[in-house]
Amino acid sequence: MSLKRLVGRIAIVTASTDGIGFAIAKRLGQEGAKVIVSSRKQQNVEEAVKLLSQEGLDVTGVPCHVAKTEDRKKLFEVAKQYGGLDILVSNAAVNPVMGEVLDCPEDAWEKIFEVNVKSSFLLAQEALPLLRQSKAGRIIFISSIAGFQPMTLLGAYSVSKTALLGLTKAAAVQLAKENITVNCVAPGVIKTKFSSALTSTQAAQDIALSMIPLNRYLNFISHVKLIRNQRKIQEQKY
Ligand code: NAP
């Protein structure tokens, strides 16, 4: 049973049509927030909005590739139409290459830093005019345990996640006087599409699990899959 601590709040969650972002959007909605979901593909956005609306949550959606200026503009336009913005969750990230940090090709490095770091910075900067109108603005960056201890197979990605820790600390100090908090969540390995490179082969699993003292991944069932499965079971009953 959710506590409804966020009634009256409006939240943006980027990359929220699957995986961790979808779970965050769902939980914020269950706590009473109005949620704007987004990701690159219109079809994914429509499906996520439908799934969350069927759960009785107050949700809208808009496609947004976080590295595209025009898309981010549209995201904040939707927030304005929705009534403002109280919570920004910057969740999108990419990892186009597997390998050690100094083996990363330049174009992959640029892509990783553009999406994971620069877009998070720009989203926070562009959200500020709306967050400043909120009584309690909140910015949450999604980093990773790899931000604290780089993963061998995710060298450049790990460094980008460390950069988010720095961005969180610097922005938190800057905005504290305005009662806007900046925090960072650093998940462990959770089975999603994104982490499949770490979890799908035995060799990759051995390396990834060797960094985790409990020697297992966090239990996480894709909420999108879970809701789809529940719907199928209900449909079969009728
Ligand atoms: P996921 O399940 O693969 O979901 C990815 C989501 O991101 C999808 O909704 C996808 O939808 C969207 N997306 C991809 N590129 C995007 C872009 N450029 N702009 C906007 N949306 C985009 O991923 P996840 O595992 O939940 O990861 C989410 C966050 O958690 C990432 O920041 C990741 O680094 C972090 N994290 C994950 C783990 C893990 O083990 N899974 C661990 C630590 C940290 P579209 O295809 O429609 O764009």
Note whether residue 210 is domain-resident: no
pLDDT of residue 213: 80
Residues of the chain predicted below pLDDT 70: 1, 219-238
- Whether 157 is a known active-site residue: answer yes
- Residue whose Cα lies nearest atom 31 of ligand 1: it is 93
Q: pLDDT tens digits, residue range 94-118?
A: 999 999 999 999 999 999 999 999 9
- Total domains in the chain come to 1
Note whether residue 202 is domain-resident: no
Note whether residue 182 is domain-resident: yes
Whole-angstrom Cα distance, residue 227 to residue 22? 11
Q: How are strands ordered across the β-sheet holding 34-37?
A: 59-61, 34-37, 10-13, 87-90, 138-142, 181-185
Separation of 212 CA from ligand 1 center, angstroms? 21
Note whether residue 44 is domain-resident: yes
Note whether residue 121 is domain-resident: yes
CATH of the domain at 124: 3.40.50.720
What is the 3-state secondary structure of the chain?
CCCCCCCCCEEEECCCCCHHHHHHHHHHHHCCCEEEECCCCHHHHHHHHHHHHHCCCCEEECCCCCCCHHHHHHHHHHHHHHCCCCEEEECCCCCCCCECHHHCCHHHHHHHHHHHHHHHHHHHHHHHHHHCCCCCCEEEEECCHHHCCCCCCEHHHHHHHHHHHHHHHHHHHHHHHHCCEEEEECCCCECCCCCHHHHCCHHHHHHHHHCCCCCCCECCCCHHHHHHHHHHHHHHHC
Specify the ligand 1 atom closest to the Cα of 39. 21
Which of 85, 78, 72, 82 has its CA nearest to residue 180? 85
Name the residue of 13, 40, 52, 220 whose CB sits within 8 Å of the most ligand 1 atoms, as the mutation to test its pocket.
40
Which pTM does this prediction carry?
A: 0.93
Separation of 62 CA from ligand 1 center, angstroms? 16
The residue type found at 52 is: L
Which residue, chain included where needed, has tokens 């139409």? 81
Note whether residue 5 is domain-resident: no
Note whether residue 206 is domain-resident: no
Note whether residue 235 is domain-resident: no
Separation of 210 CA from ligand 1 center, angstroms? 23
pLDDT of residue 197: 83
Whole-angstrom Cα distance, residue 180 to residue 75? 20
CA 153 to chain centre: 21
Q: Which residues pair with 36 in a beta bridge?
A: 12, 60
- Choose the catalytic residue: 82, 157, 217, 238: 157
120 CB less than 6 Å from ligand 1? no
47 CB less than 6 Å from ligand 1? no
- Range(s) of the domain holding residue 74: 10-188
pLDDT over 90 percentage in the chain: 77
93 CB less than 6 Å from ligand 1? yes
φ, ψ at 177 (rounded to 5°): -65, -15
